[in-house]
């Protein structure tokens, strides 16, 4: 197919963004234009671009050349199509939701909001359509820049600080690490073009240099929120809820995971990854992030922040699946992009609906809200089931493949990590469901709660539609499963041979899933039996500051969370110390005074993120040396 179709798919959102200011005083026309642009984009992606990709074709278009071997190239394969289809589909729904949300709260600067909101789909699709590292880098940076005004939309001191952290983490990581790695790859190979199974000639670089390049790319794509470059993501929750949905489900964080997966598939390639033991390195970081994010998130009382930490965890599900380098692991990792996106966007939509309807942000304030907003909170329950990966949700398929891949590969420690995370996800979300449906509002809030009702149809309809799609795509996982299998199957023989046969690993992964679900059901039953309202009193209170503070598991989580925070604070102090010491000698001040001044400045974010990245690079090298 002619590569110009990729340009046509990018144009509607770009044209609409530049036209929106013309309708600043005509909100119906302005909002209608954004809806039309998203629908046209979806129709082009779904009905014009998708069919040839499903037939095994790749669409390529070279626009211009910066220098020999450095061109601005658009190329779409099955993997890029997967990301593009998720983005284009959810954008239509998110845009309608955003209109209802912004109007429901009578938000200021709505035209500016929708200009950058619409530009974000242009940047996200550009990432999906990128044919080489430099094109990917350009669209990646555009996405960071156009989402910044969305993060600081409230324009108060808190949002401005969060916006600064957002930009510094993403831009410093990409400029310092990602761009350096790209230039090194060009120096080794003379090209930046993606190739099936990796960039040809990259293997001629030294093992230590290639390991460093991979780690720089892994942390350079900071949108994937691998620890420690993760804190920008919960901080960005000060943005309006449609932006949170955009960040966590439609574009930004998924773009980070997409870029790391692209590095595994088409820059290094599975064979070189396995030869250099980089699959183990990625797996270790992903497994640590997966569990650590749950320990952070389980102690959050703010609903959006808890969901945000869940996102950090779920992103590492995808990366850990890819690190397995087995067919089922890779397929499950890709498929989980879609299952997470559709499930997580429901949760954020509901958080926004609750805020519009009752102006509540804290989980501890949600007692009985499910009785006043049953459709909204039942949809939240569906999203929760998707996060737990119960049957009849798309996540049940993707996480089943991840379990199968980890068992078949022989990396049983990762198999245990997946199962443990599945159990912890229940602790993560069950208190919210419990409080919404089984707790009565406090007496002082009864009159206030009696006035609450479901939100307007522009907010409620998208919530219900996506909740239904979570189930529909389990029954018919088209085109997601097809695209994932196309990307994995034909390109190369995977380097990790199955230690256990496919039949046995599938059997035990399914058995493990059912066991986990049985434990979850037992857990819920016991919680209701012994701690529920039917008992007349609660031995373990759900009203503690951390919601689950009386639960021994939560105490462990809080303790681990505290230690992780201490470690992070130590790293920040470590990063400030050399500079503070030098400045103190010149200015004649105490080191402690200089450190306090720096701690209040943007320098803290630059040094801490850079130092932590270097620290994790060193850890990665140690892992590499151990594996030699």
The string of pLDDT tens digits covering residues 279-311 is 888 988 898 888 888 877 877 788 888 888 888
What are the domain boundaries of the chain? Answer: 302-550, 551-627
Report the pLDDT averaged over residues 326-354. Answer: 90
In DSSP notation, 419-434 reads HHHHHHHHHHHHHHHH
- Confidence at residue 43, expressed as pLDDT on a 0 to 100 scale: 95
- Residue 69: is it exposed, middle or buried by C-beta count within 10 angstroms (0-12/13-18/19+)? middle
Report the pLDDT averaged over residues 64-72. Answer: 81
pLDDT band at 627 (very low <50, low <70, confident <90, very high): very low
- Which segment, 362-371, 461-470, 563-572, 586-595, is predicted with the most confidence on average? 461-470
| Lowest mean pLDDT, pick from 14-18, 396-400, 613-617 | 613-617
- Confidence at residue 628, expressed as pLDDT on a 0 to 100 scale: 46
Q: Give Cα separations from 432 to 242, 371, 377, 428, 546 (angstroms).
A: 21, 13, 9, 8, 12
Q: How far apart are CA 270 and CA 496, in angstroms?
A: 9
Report the pLDDT averaged over residues 307-333. Answer: 88
Q: How far apart are CA 386 and CA 467, in angstroms?
A: 9
Tell me which residue has tokens 């790391």. Answer: 260
pTM value? 0.83
Helices 133-151 and 252-262: crossing angle, nearest 10°? 160
| DSSP letter assigned to residue 132 | B
Contact yes or no for 429/421 (Cβ under 8 A): no
Say whether pLDDT at 161 is over 80. no
**Mean pLDDT for all residues in the chain:** 79
Say whether pLDDT at 549 is over 60. no
- The region, left, alpha or beta by phi > 0 then psi within -120 to 50, assigned to residue 500 is beta
Tell me which residue has tokens 């954008």. Answer: 91
- Confidence at residue 534, expressed as pLDDT on a 0 to 100 scale: 39
pLDDT in tens, 249-271: 777 888 999 999 999 998 998 88
pLDDT band at 76 (very low <50, low <70, confident <90, very high): very high
% of the chain with per-residue pLDDT over 70: 76
Q: How far apart are CA 252 and CA 244, in angstroms?
A: 10
Q: How far apart are CA 243 and CA 348, in angstroms?
A: 10
- Residue 269: is it exposed, middle or buried by C-beta count within 10 angstroms (0-12/13-18/19+)? buried
Tell me which residue has tokens 């209109």. Answer: 99
Count of H helices and E strands in the chain? Answer: 27, 2
* Stronger pLDDT, 342 or 420, i.e. the higher one: 342
Q: How far apart are CA 567 and CA 581, in angstroms?
A: 21
547: Cα within 13 Å, side-chain hemisphere: 26
pLDDT band at 33 (very low <50, low <70, confident <90, very high): very high
Q: Give Cα separations from 364 to 36, 69, 305 (angstroms).
A: 39, 57, 13
Residue closest to 251 by CA, chosen among 34, 88, 409: 88
> Does the bond joining 485 to the residue before it have cis omega, within 30 degrees of 0?
no
3-state secondary structure 104-124: HCCCCCHHHHHHHHHHHHHHH
- Confidence at residue 532, expressed as pLDDT on a 0 to 100 scale: 47
Q: How far apart are CA 475 and CA 469, in angstroms?
A: 10
Is 600 strand, coil or helix?
A: coil
Q: How far apart are CA 107 and CA 359, in angstroms?
A: 14
């Amino acid at each position: 197919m002619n590569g110009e179709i990729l340009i046509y798919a990018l144009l509607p959102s770009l044209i609409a963004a530049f036209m929106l200011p013309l309708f600043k005083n005509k909100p119906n026309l302005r909002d209608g234009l954004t809806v039309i642009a998203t629908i046209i984009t979806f129709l082009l992606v779904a009905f014009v671009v998708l069919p040839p990709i499903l037939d095994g074709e790749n669409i390529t278009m070279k626009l211009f050349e910066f220098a020999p071997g450095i061109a601005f190239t658009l190329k779409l394969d099955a993997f890029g199509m997967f990301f593009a289809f998720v983005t284009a589909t959810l954008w239509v729904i998110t845009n309608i939701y955003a209109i209802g949300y912004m109007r429901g709260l009578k938000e200021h600067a709505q035209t500016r909001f929708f200009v950058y909101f619409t530009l974000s789909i242009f940047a996200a699709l550009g990432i999906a359509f990128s044919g080489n590292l430099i094109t990917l880098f350009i669209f990646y940076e555009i996405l960071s820049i156009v989402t910044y005004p969305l993060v600081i939309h409230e324009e108060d001191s808190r949002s401005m600080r969060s916006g600064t952290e957002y930009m510094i983490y993403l831009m410093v990581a990409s400029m310092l690490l990602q761009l350096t790695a790209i230039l090194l790859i060009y120096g080794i190979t003379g090209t930046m073009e993606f190739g099936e199974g990796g960039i040809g000639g990259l293997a001629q670089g030294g093992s230590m240099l290639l390991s460093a390049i991979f780690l720089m790319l892994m942390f350079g794509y900071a949108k994937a929120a691998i620890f420690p470059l993760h804190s920008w993501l919960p901080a960005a929750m000060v943005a309006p809820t449609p932006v949170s949905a955009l960040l966590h489900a439609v574009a930004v964080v998924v773009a980070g995971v997409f870029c790391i997966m692209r590095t595994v598939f088409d820059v290094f390639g599975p064979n070189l990854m396995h030869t250099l033991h980089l699959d183990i390195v990625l797996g270790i970081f992903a497994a640590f992030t997966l569990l650590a994010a749950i320990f952070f998130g389980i102690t959050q009382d703010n609903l959006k922040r808890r969901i945000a930490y869940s996102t950090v965890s779920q992103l590492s599900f995808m990366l850990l699946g890819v690190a397995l380098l087995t067919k089922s692991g890779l397929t499950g990792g890709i498929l989980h992009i879609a299952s997470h996106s559709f499930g997580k966007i429901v949760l954020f939509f509901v958080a926004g609906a609750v805020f519009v309807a009752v102006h509540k942000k804290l989980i501890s304030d949600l007692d009985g809200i499910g009785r006043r907003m049953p459709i909204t909170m039942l949809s939240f329950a569906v999203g929760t089931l998707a996060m737990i990966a119960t049957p009849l949700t798309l996540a049940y398929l993707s996480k089943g493949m991840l379990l199968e891949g980890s068992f078949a590969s022989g990396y049983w420690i990762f198999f245990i990590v997946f199962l443990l995370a599945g159990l912890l996800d229940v602790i993560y979300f069950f208190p919210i469901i419990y409080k919404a449906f089984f707790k009565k509002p406090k007496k002082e809030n009864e009159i206030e709660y009696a006035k609450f009702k479901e939100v307007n149809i522009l907010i409620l309809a998208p919530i219900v539609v996506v909740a239904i799609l979570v189930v529909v795509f389990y029954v018919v996982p088209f085109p997601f499963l097809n695209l994932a299998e196309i990307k994995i199957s034909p390109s190369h023989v995977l380097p990790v041979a199955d230690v256990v046969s496919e039949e046995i690993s599938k059997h035990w992964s399914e058995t493990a899933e059912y066991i986990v679900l049985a434990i979850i059901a037992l857990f819920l039953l016991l919680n209701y039996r012994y701690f529920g309202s039917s008992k007349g009193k609660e031995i373990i209170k759900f009203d503690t500051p951390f919601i689950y503070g009386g639960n021994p598991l939560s105490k462990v989580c809080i303790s681990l969370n505290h230690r992780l925070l201490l470690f992070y604070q130590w790293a920040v102090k470590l990063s400030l110390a050399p500079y503070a010491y030098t400045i103190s000698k010149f200015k004649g001040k105490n080191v402690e005074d200089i450190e306090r001044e720096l701690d209040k400045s943007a320098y803290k974010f630059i040094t801490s993120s850079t130092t932590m990245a270097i620290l994790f690079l060193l850890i990665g090298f140690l892992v590499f040396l151990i594996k030699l």
